[in-house]
Amino acid sequence: MTEALLHAHKKHVAVLMGGWSAEREVSLVSGAGVAKALEEEGYRVTAIDVQRDLGGLMHALTNPRPDVVFNALHGRGGEDGTIQGVLEFLGLPYTHSGVQAAAIAMDKAMTKRVLDTVGIRSPKGMVLSRGEITGGTHPMPAPYIVKPVDEGSTVGVTLVREGQNSPVGDDSFFGGTFGERVLVEEFIPGRELTVGVMGDRALAVTEIVFQAQVYDYTAKYSAGHAVHTIPAAIPEAVAEEAKRLAVLAHHTLGCRGVSRSDFRWDDGRPGTDGLYFLEINNQPGMTPLSLVPEQAAHVGISYGALVGWLVENAACQLA
């Protein structure tokens, strides 16, 4: 019997899912998986499909009032400090990072600046506006990466190749839920690595091999578009450094619960010289294809035990 199960029957958990970001569908899948697993662990669960309706949400969270909120939202409004502020106002303990850590982690440019102060290296880059990136002048030599500053799940990630006339084509890049700013970064050749962190512990290093040249939204959430190798077949020194940096990023930003840091490793450079931090996800996905549950299983932690631990960890925040 898990420790979480010993406490489960005493707790009512509200699982927040859906939301209004570009990642709504992924969040719904994550939330459904979390709700099912928590029920199997013995918790009493209420699933809430979050709409852009503050009054309705507050009513759902107070009639009845849950013991803990499991935040399974992704993207804007869900992992950028917005919903966290509502939960703080209501005095409800919730999973994952708090307001400040969530806001910083969601802003990729700000994350890079903060982590640079503790020696975590990321690709050289700059933040540009709509007008600056949709013209015909390239901001840096191609190839380079263009991505929204504050979207998750690799939404909108674009590789600009040599020979393209315009960095991103036209204003259509900024349609939908994208903001007015983009992050432009040098493209690091090599391999894609990711490390999940659970509390103070790095779970594992996974290498992600995908068909496209960049690990985009389709590759991340569509079966057959990416292969996860766990543990990654890389030198031990590189794996240990990636784990160290992931834990350091987690703590430097003030993340709670679980997070996941993504890296590029240029295997053409010696030792750990080619390892670059890309971004941190302070609310990693919980879909069947998600990386953190996969890494947890690799080290002997079941999906149910993982979500149960998140609930109990959150319950301690206001204890």
List 262, 303, 312, 313, catalytic entry: 262
Question: Does 63 qualify as catalytic in the annotation?
Answer: no
Question: Does 267 qualify as catalytic in the annotation?
Answer: no
User: What is the three-class DSSP state of 273?
Assistant: coil
List 18, 260, 264, 312, catalytic entry: 260
Beta strand pairing call for 191-198 and 258-265: antiparallel
Q: What one-character DSSP code corresponds to residue 72? A: -
List 21, 71, 153, 313, catalytic entry: 153
139 CB burial (10 A radius; 0-12, 13-18, 19+): middle
Question: Does 312 qualify as catalytic in the annotation?
Answer: no
Question: Does 279 qualify as catalytic in the annotation?
Answer: yes
List 33, 78, 285, 304, catalytic entry: 285
- DSSP element (H, E) containing 131: helix 130-133
List 94, 144, 217, 221, catalytic entry: 221
Which residues, at least 6 apart from 89, have a Cβ–Cβ distance to it below 8 Å? Answer: none
Long-range pairs for 25-32: beta carbons < 8 A, 24 or more residues apart: 26/74, 26/153, 26/221, 26/285, 26/287, 27/72, 27/73, 27/74, 27/75, 27/78, 29/287, 29/288, 30/72, 30/74, 30/285, 30/286, 30/287, 30/290, 31/72, 31/73, 31/286
What the block records as the tokens of 306 is 């993982």
List 80, 151, 279, 312, catalytic entry: 279
Count Cα atoms within 13 angstroms, Cβ side, for 239. Answer: 13
- The radius of gyration of the chain's CA atoms, rounded to the nearest angstrom, is 19
- DSSP element (H, E) containing 261: strand 258-265
Question: Does 172 qualify as catalytic in the annotation?
Answer: no
Comparing CA positions, the residue from 309, 286, 292, 302 lying closest to residue 33 is 286
List 30, 259, 281, 282, catalytic entry: 281
**What are residue 182's DSSP bridge partners?**
128, 148
List 21, 23, 207, 215, catalytic entry: 23
Question: Does 23 qualify as catalytic in the annotation?
Answer: yes
d(Cα 172, Cα 154) in Å, to the nearest integer?
A: 17
Beta strand pairing call for 44-50 and 12-18: parallel
**150 within 8 A of 82, measured Cβ to Cβ:** no
Q: Residues with catalytic annotation?
A: 23, 153, 221, 260, 262, 279, 281, 285
